[in-house]
C-alpha cells in the first residue's frame, strides 16, 4: 500500500499537470479562432486560381507546347513528396496522421519500383520518417523560427521544388497535409502539385461557366501563373495545417485535463482510505496498549 506522503505528492503533481493542460487548451482555443479564419479566407482565392488554371488548361490545344508544370514530363518514374508537419508536439495524432498517409503513398511508389524523393517540413515529420525513409529524404525544412507561417516560407519551398523540377530530378510532386474540418476531425490530404491535377467537381463547374478569351496566349499566362499557383497551394496547406494543429491540440489537452481530473479523484479516494486505515491502526494500537496495562 502506498504511503500517505507518496499519495499527497502524486495528487499535487497531477494537479500541476492539470493546470498546464488546461492553460494549453485555452491558448490553443484562442489560436484556433485566428488560424481557422485565415484558412477560410484563403480558400476562395485558392479555388478561384485553380478554376482559372483549369479554364486555361482546357483551352490549350497543343499539349506538346504546353508548360511542363501543367502537363508534366509525360512520365511518372520519380516522385517528389513534400510532407508538411509541425515542430511542436502535444497535439494528438496530428503529425502521425499526416505521416501515416504519406507512408502509404511511399510504400506504393517503392512497391512499383519507382524512385522516391522526400522533402520534410517540420521536425516532427522528420523524426517519424527518418527511421525508415532516411535514404529518400533530400531536404529538411525547419519551422522553429516561424511564429506565424508567412507566404514567404511557402515561396521558399516552391523555389526548391521548381529548382528540382528544372533539373529534371522528379516527374510528379505530391503535397501531404491535414485539412481542417472541425476540432475533432482533421483529414489527411495528398494533393498533386506537378503536374496540375484536375478536380472532377471543379472541372464540371468550370465547363458550365462561360469560356473566356485570353490576351496574351494561354501558354504565356500559364508560364507566369503556375509557379504562383504552387506557392498558393502550399500556403493554403500551411493555413489548413495550422488550424488542424490547434484543433487537435485543443482536443488533446481537453482529454488530458479530464483524465487528470479523474485520476485526482481516484488518488483522493485512495488517500482517504489509506489515511483512515492508518488512523484505525493507531487506535487499535492505543487500545491494545491500554488493555495490556
Told to judge if 81 belongs to the known catalytic residues of this protein, a careful annotator would answer: no
Cell representation of residue 143: 519551422
Question: Are 70 and 196 a contacting pair, CB within 8 Å?
Answer: yes
Burial grade of 182 (CB within 10 A; 0-12, 13-18, 19 or more): exposed
Strand duo 78-84 + 172-182: pairing: parallel
Distance, CA of 136 to CA of 144 (rounded, Å)? 23
CA distances from 167 to 160, 161, 171, 230 (A): 11, 10, 11, 17
How much is the CA Rg of the chain, to the nearest whole Å?
A: 28
- CB atoms < 10 A from the CB of 88, how many? 15
Distance in angstroms (rounded) separating the CA atoms of residues 274 and 292: 27
Write the CA distances from 28 to 40, 42, 68, 242, integer angstroms. 18, 21, 42, 11
Q: What is the DSSP string of 177-231?
A: EEEEEETTEEEEEEEEEETTPPPHHHHHHHHHSPP---SS-HHHHHHHHHHHHHH
Catalytic residue among 81, 91, 99, 173: 91
Do residues 120 and 137 make contact, with C-beta atoms less than 8 angstroms apart? yes
- Catalytic positions are 91
Amino acid at each position: 500500500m502506498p504511503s500517505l506522503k507518496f499519495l499527497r505528492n502524486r495528487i499535487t503533481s497531477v494537479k500541476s499537470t492539470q493546470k498546464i493542460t488546461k492553460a494549453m487548451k485555452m491558448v490553443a482555443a484562442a489560436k484556433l479562432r485566428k488560424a481557422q479564419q485565415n484558412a477560410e479566407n484563403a480558400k476562395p482565392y485558392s479555388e478561384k486560381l485553380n478554376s482559372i488554371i483549369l479554364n486555361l488548361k482546357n483551352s490549350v490545344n497543343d499539349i506538346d507546347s504546353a508548360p511542363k508544370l501543367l502537363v508534366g514530363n509525360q512520365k511518372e518514374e520519380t516522385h517528389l513528396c513534400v510532407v508538411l508537419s509541425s515542430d511542436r508536439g502535444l497535439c494528438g495524432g496530428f503529425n502521425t496522421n499526416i505521416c501515416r498517409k504519406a507512408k502509404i503513398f511511399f510504400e506504393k511508389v517503392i512497391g512499383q519500383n519507382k524512385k522516391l524523393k522526400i522533402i520534410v517540413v517540420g521536425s516532427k515529420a522528420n523524426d517519424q520518417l527518418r527511421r525508415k525513409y532516411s535514404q529518400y529524404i533530400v531536404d529538411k525544412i525547419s519551422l522553429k523560427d516561424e511564429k506565424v507561417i508567412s507566404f514567404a516560407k511557402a515561396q521558399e519551398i516552391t523555389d526548391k521544388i521548381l529548382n528540382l523540377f528544372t533539373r529534371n530530378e522528379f516527374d510528379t510532386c505530391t503535397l501531404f497535409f491535414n485539412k481542417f474540418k472541425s476540432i475533432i476531425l482533421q483529414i489527411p490530404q495528398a494533393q498533386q502539385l506537378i503536374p496540375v491535377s484536375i478536380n472532377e467537381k471543379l472541372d464540371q463547374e468550370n465547363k458550365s461557366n462561360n469560356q473566356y478569351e485570353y490576351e496574351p496566349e494561354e501558354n504565356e499566362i500559364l508560364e507566369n501563373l503556375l509557379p504562383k499557383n504552387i506557392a498558393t497551394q502550399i500556403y493554403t496547406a500551411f493555413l489548413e495545417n495550422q488550424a488542424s494543429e490547434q484543433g487537435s491540440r485543443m482536443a488533446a489537452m481537453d482529454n488530458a485535463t479530464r483524465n487528470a481530473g479523474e485520476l485526482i479523484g481516484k488518488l483522493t479516494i485512495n488517500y482517504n482510505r489509506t489515511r483512515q486505515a492508518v488512523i484505525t491502526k493507531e487506535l487499535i494500537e492505543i487500545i491494545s496498549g491500554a488493555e495490556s496495562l
